[in-house]
Amino acid sequence: MQFPYFKTKLEGETKKFNLTDPKERAEYFELKAGEEIRKLRQYLKENTFITYLLGKKSSGKGTYAKMFAEVIDPGRIEHFSIGDMVRSIDEELKDEEKKKELYNFLLKNYRGFASLDENFSALENRSTKVLLPTELILALVKREIAKRAKKTIFIDGFPRDLDQISYSLFFRELIGYRDDQDIFVMINVPEKVIDERIKWRRICPACQTSRNLKLLPTSRAGYDAGKKEFYLICDNPKCSGEKMMQKEGDQFGIEPIRERLAMDGKLIEKSFSLYGIPKILLRNSVPVSEAKEFLDDYEITPEYVMEWNEKEGKVKIIEKPWVVNDDNGVASYSLMPPPVVVSLIKQLSDVLNL
């Protein structure tokens, strides 16, 4: 399947924006998709829709959904992660009262071939390598959605397996969104980009803010002369400026999750062949040879190279274009999140006939 290039470049427009600055980012969206943004805001005053985010692990699903909400209307849009839901249930199971409430809910709402006790045991002893039964996931999602006021939902993590694709066709009825438009949003990101995102990811141990030493540094960095390594210092205003750390296993990049990435790819291809549900295709990369026609320079993800200035005793950060080979071996630029979200906004406006 082919993900088309989406043109965000406006002919004759020379203004540049710092897309990491919230104020300038808002101005950027107004320039690039202001009309569609206003139509979507008006639509959401009376309507909701369900979007299934389909993309490989670390492809930016949550980032795009949250930025879409930031731009359109945070109060009417929710990013719903199946993984986050299951992890929150892990915490509930540690509390006997909450555990009992969960069991009683499933007793009334679970339907499936395996017994409830078998499924509850699977929930208590779950492994990240084994997916929970689909019927159990559906019951748990129904429970979570019922806790919330009705909003537009971006669902991240479902379908997760090939057998779940057919379930997704009836998902909106299950959660009471019977008349809502449902949409598949498919995201294409080169595996090399995912690999670099994981390898260079750094996490603040205090506030859990995530940044990237190579692709999205903080405003402050340091140098460990003993290890001959650069590091980031958290610049979250609500944090105490901790040294950001690499998560265990991140140094291996995509190697531990290659099987998962292959399955994610099959899911996208299978979902693309479905009839009866609109599809939005989001592309994260554009060949270097095509970039000038489709993108503004500031929409391209830069690479940050660090140098230690021993004389001044500080780190110098140098920005330069980041070129990666896509999955076909074509030299490409990776896009910053905002232009991908512009593509999402415009395609959604078309799908909803606004």
For residue 78, tell me if it sits in a domain: yes
Task: Please determine, for residue 186, whether its predicted confidence score (pLDDT) is greater than 90.
Answer: yes
pLDDT tens figures, 138-147: 888 888 888 8
- Burial, 186: exposed, middle or buried (Cβ in 10 Å; 0-12, 13-18, 19+)? buried
Which CATH number do you get for residue 341? Answer: 3.40.50.300
- The DSSP H or E segment spanning 316 is strand 314-321
Contacts of 75 (CB under 8 A, 6+ apart): none
Q: Are strands 201-203 and 210-212 parallel, antiparallel or unpaired?
A: antiparallel
Contact criterion met (CB below 8 Å) for 134 and 164: yes
- Under DSSP, is residue 342 helix (H, G, I), strand (E, B) or coil? helix
CA angle 34, 36, 40 (to 5 degrees): 120
- Which structural domain, as residue segments, surrounds residue 85? 22-351
Number of domains in the chain: 1
Residue with more model confidence, 135 or 281: 281
- Classify residue 17: in a domain, yes or no: no
pLDDT over 90, % of the chain: 53
In a domain, 205, yes or no: yes
Chain-centroid distance of CA 286 in Å reads 19
- Least trusted range by pLDDT, from 63-67, 70-74, 309-313, 319-323: 309-313
194 domain residue, yes or no: yes
Give the tens place of pLDDT for each residue, 264-310: 898 889 888 888 889 999 999 999 999 999 999 999 999 999 999 88
Is residue 125 in a domain? yes
R_g over Cα of the chain: 22
What pLDDT, in 10s, does the model give residues 153-181?
A: 998 887 777 677 776 767 777 667 678 89
The C-alpha atoms of residue 263 and residue 162 are separated, in whole angstroms, by 8
Q: What is the pTM of this model?
A: 0.86
**What is the per-residue pLDDT across 76-134, written as a single tens digit (0 to 9) for each?**
999 888 888 888 888 888 889 999 999 999 898 888 888 888 888 878 887 666 677 88
Sign for the CA dihedral angle at 271, 257, 252, 63 comes to positive
Q: Within a domain: residue 54?
A: yes
With 0-12 CB in 10 A as exposed, 13-18 as middle and 19+ as buried, what is 36?
buried
Identify the helix (H) or strand (E) that includes residue 156: strand 152-156
- Cα torsion 12, 18, 24, 27 to 10°: value is 30
| 82 domain-assigned | yes
Cα of 160 vs its chain's centroid, Å: 14
C-alpha–C-alpha distance, residues 154 and 65, integer Å: 6
Containing H/E element for 32? Answer: helix 22-44
Question: What percentage of the chain reaches a pLDDT higher than 70?
Answer: 96
3-class DSSP assignment, residue 150 = coil
Distance CA 86, CA 123 (A): 9
Is residue 5 assigned to a domain? Answer: no
